[in-house]
Structures are given as C-alpha cells and as structure tokens.
Amino acid sequence: MAGRVEGKVALVTGAASGLGKAAAAMLVREGARVALTDRNEAGVREVAASLGESARAWALDVTKEPDWARVVDEVVATFGRLDVVVNNAGIGVSKDIESLSLEEWRLVHAVNLDGVFLGCKHAIRGMRQSGAKGSIINISSVAGLVGVDTLPAYCSSKAGVRLLTKSVALHCARKGYGIRCNSVHPTFIETPMVDDLASLTGDMAAGKARLARMIPLGRIGEPDDIAYAVLYLASDESKLMTGSELVVDGGTTAM
C-alpha cells in the first residue's frame, strides 16, 4: 500500500531534533524523500542517516538567504523536484517585556519570522522551477493565537507567521501556482524547547506538570501529534486547504 505522500519531495527545517525530526521521520515513513536541514550539521546528518536512503541532510541557517538559495537549488538538483516545505526552525526567549533586550527580540524574530519569510519565498521558487503543485507548512504556535506574558518576542513572531501564511496562500492562489500554504499551531510538546521552559524553575518534572495543567486535556503533547498534522497538510488529502490554521492545542484556545 502506497504511503500518504508517496513520490513527494519535502524539505524540513530544524530537523535535527524536536518537531522537525518527528515530521521528517513521519514523511519518510509515508513515502516521501526528505531533505533534512538544520544549523546543527552533525546532528541533522545523524538523524538523516537513521532514516535511510530516502533522507539527505543539509546545513541551513534559516536567517541567511544565500543558504536558502543554495539548499533549495541543491535539493531540486538532487531529488528532481520540491513538493513540500516545512518551516519548523524556531527559538524562544522566556523574558517579559521589561526584561527582554532588543537584541533578543531581534534574534527571535530573525529565526521565527524572517526564516519563515525566506522559506516561503524560496519554496515557491523551487516548486515552480520543478513544476510541482506544492504545500508550504509553517509551524506557528498556540502562542501565535493567544498571549503569554513571559514570551513577548515568541508570541509576536508566531503571530506574524500566522498572517504571513495567509498572505502567501492568497498570493499563490491568485497567481494560479497550485501551491498551498497553511500554519500549524501546537501547544506545549515534548521537545528540547519545552524542556528548557519547564526547567526554568529548577525542577523539570514540576515544570512539566505545571504546563500540563494549562492544557484542558491535561497532558503535554508528543512530537508525532504535530507530525501527523504536517503529514495531512503535505498530502493531497488537504488539497482544498490553504491559508488555514491547524490548531493542535489540547483545547487551550477553547477556553
């Protein structure tokens, strides 16, 4: 039985760990060939090697446009096409508005928002050059929908991803490119970023329990909870979805 993304070529950013690693593994498992990218070159190469012949690794700093131009060109040259781009790479700084420095604000936006802008721009170029009908999937956050007092830069950047996604979706639709663009909005998921957040009080277990209590379903999510959302948006099953928000938050935004 063919996989849900059989024959497609996907590029995933931030794929050395966390949500990017899970999404890449899921896409490979469902039949795609996947370009895993990350600033952590050694880490991403190790993950790609573990996924077999359908996975290849590239070093990519999402804030640098020359990196994007090079990697997209090389992915198309290697695999012959580009069907899916998952803009997942992201960082967070847990400081309130009075404590956050301008440099920290700019760094978070450079990775989380500038990186997604460049990813969308070069995804469109690569998809059009290879004649693909594509899907761009931008990983935003529940914090792009509701405010968090200790995450002003993260909230701002992820809210920016939400509306950038809609702008890109409308542009591609009105140009008739056949390229869709949607955002995914996770709650707290078992990733290194959430580990860091939970550890701020010095007790990770207590910190995770506190985060879980903030979610109506009462648990922190698993990386595959988001990988399945990515898989759906990458597949032709979602062919009528563009400019949409796929919220995977355990009921957080229902409150």
pLDDT at 135: 98
Cα separation of 95 and 76, whole Å?
Answer: 40
Residue boundaries of the structural domains of the chain:
9-186+222-247, 191-220
Q: What is the pLDDT of residues 105-145, one digit of tens each?
A: 999 999 999 999 999 999 999 999 999 899 999 999 999 99
Instruction: Dump the DSSP string for the chain.
Output: ---TTTT-EEEESSTTSHHHHHHHHHHHHTT-EEEEEES-HHHHHHHHHHH-TTEEEEE--TT-HHHHHHHHHHHHHHHS---EEEE---------TTT--HHHHHHHHIIIIIHHHHHHHHHHHHHHHTT---EEEEE--GGGTS--TT-HHHHHHHHHHHHHHHHHHHHHHHHT---EEEEEEE-SBSSHHHHHHHGGGS-HHHHHHHHHHTSTTSSPBPHHHHHHHHHHHHSGGGTT--S-EEEESTTGGG-
Chain segment 10-30, per-residue pLDDT in tens: 999 999 999 999 999 999 999
Residues 6+ apart with CB under 8 A from 142: 185, 186, 187, 247, 249, 252, 253
pTM of the model: 0.96
Q: What is residue 198's predicted lDDT score, i.e. its pLDDT? A: 81
**Residue 146 — very low, low, confident or very high, per pLDDT cuts 50/70/90?**
very high
Q: State yes or no: pLDDT of 2 exceeds 90.
A: no
- Give the active site residue among 154, 177, 228, 232: 154
**Domain 9-186+222-247, second-level architecture:** 3-Layer(aba) Sandwich (3.40)
Residue 154 near residue 108, CB atoms below 8 Å:
yes
How many other CB atoms are found less than 10 A from the CB of residue 220?
20
Please check whether residue 247 is in contact with residue 145, taking contact to mean a CB–CB distance below 8 angstroms.
yes
Residue 217 exposure: Cα atoms within 13 Å on the Cβ side? 14
pLDDT value of position 1: 62
- How far is the C-alpha of 47 from the C-alpha of 43, rounded, in Å? 6
For 198-254, the pLDDT digits (tens) are 887 788 888 898 889 999 999 999 999 999 999 999 999 999 999 999 999 999 999
Model pLDDT, residue 210 = 87
| pLDDT tens, residue by residue, 26-64 | 999 999 999 999 999 999 999 999 999 999 999 999 999
- Please provide the average confidence, as pLDDT, over all residues in the chain: 96
Annotation says 154 is catalytic:
yes
Instruction: Evaluate if residue 175 carries a pLDDT over 70.
Output: yes
